[in-house]
Amino acid sequence: MADAAGKGPEHAREEGAGLATDFSRRMSYGAYLDLDTLLSAQKPLSDHHDELLFIVIHHVQELWMKLIIRELEVATACVREGDLRPAFKGLARVSRIQRQLVEAWDVLSTMTPADYLAFRDVLGQSSGFQSWQYRLMEILLGARDEFMLKPHAHDEALTARLRAAFDAPSLYQEALRLVARRGIPVPDSVLNANPSERHVENEGVVEAWAVIYRNSNEYFDLYELAEELVDLEDAFQQWRFRHVTTVERVIGMRTGTGGSAGVAYLRRALERRFFPELWTVRGRL
């Protein structure tokens, strides 16, 4: 009997003659990826259909965040060393990953309020607000708020990792130090600022970026760095915005499971910038 392409099973066997099929002593695809561990990690606490969707979406996002963190750490180190080409590659990758995170909210938004409320109680006090990877990602980009470390105080090793990033220069601070090393004036108060303190928009930094934008041919690599940072923050804000609209669509103005103000809290996050001067300078050119 011929298959849909008009070729019989003998032809199919011939085409697959070179394929490995015996994995009794060789590593298989599933073994390499440890799929048994990965696919057994989804453990719904209710029998409601949409809880699996909810867990899978959040697992996918955490996996993407793991990769983002690695790319940000490498990019920061490269900027510190003035080696911008690999930094550009990493930052571009982060921006593309964030597009996948935005798309994940589209999938979650297929869950109706009734679907979510059917299993919401089993979440207890757990909330995305407690995602340590999300927190680390923000810290690497420059967010500094001691309060945000509190949900992780019960885990000493995790707290130490977050604290190390919290007390180290952010990607943006390293970028500004590089700008200064290239001979463009940046205020000492910014360059020598305590990394654990939140960066506040500075007029001198706006002027430094203005020099780069007005002389982009002379400072093209710094100009490209600026645009990579803008791309990154733009993608991050799109992710935040899509998160807000998805949550509002599913739970309305209810309080979040972790005790936050829900949508109101998420909307406030949209007002925060990692690289404020890169947005202000656009109106000065």
93-102, 139-148, 214-223, 259-268: which has the minimum mean pLDDT? 259-268
Eight-state DSSP code of residue 283: G
120-129, 191-200, 211-220, 254-263: which has the minimum mean pLDDT? 254-263
**Of 285 and 41, more confident:** 41
SS3 labels along 139-199? HHHCCCCHHHHHHHCCCHHHHHHHHHHHCCCCHHHHHHHHHHHCCCCCCHHHHCCCCCCCC
pLDDT computed for residue 2 by the predictor: 53
Structural contact between residues 137 and 68, judged by C-beta atoms closer than 8 angstroms: yes
Distance separating alpha carbons of residues 219 and 144, to the nearest angstrom: 30
pLDDT computed for residue 9 by the predictor: 61
Structural contact between residues 170 and 140, judged by C-beta atoms closer than 8 angstroms: yes
Report the pLDDT averaged over residues 110-117: 91
**Of 16 and 217, more confident:** 217
pTM of the model: 0.87
E strand or H helix that includes residue 34: none
140-144, 222-226, 252-256: which has the minimum mean pLDDT? 252-256
Average pLDDT in the chain = 89
pLDDT surpassing 80 at residue 192: yes
pLDDT computed for residue 14 by the predictor: 62
Report the pLDDT averaged over residues 27-46: 96
pLDDT surpassing 70 at residue 98: yes
pLDDT computed for residue 130 by the predictor: 86
Give the pLDDT band (50/70/90) at residue 274: very high
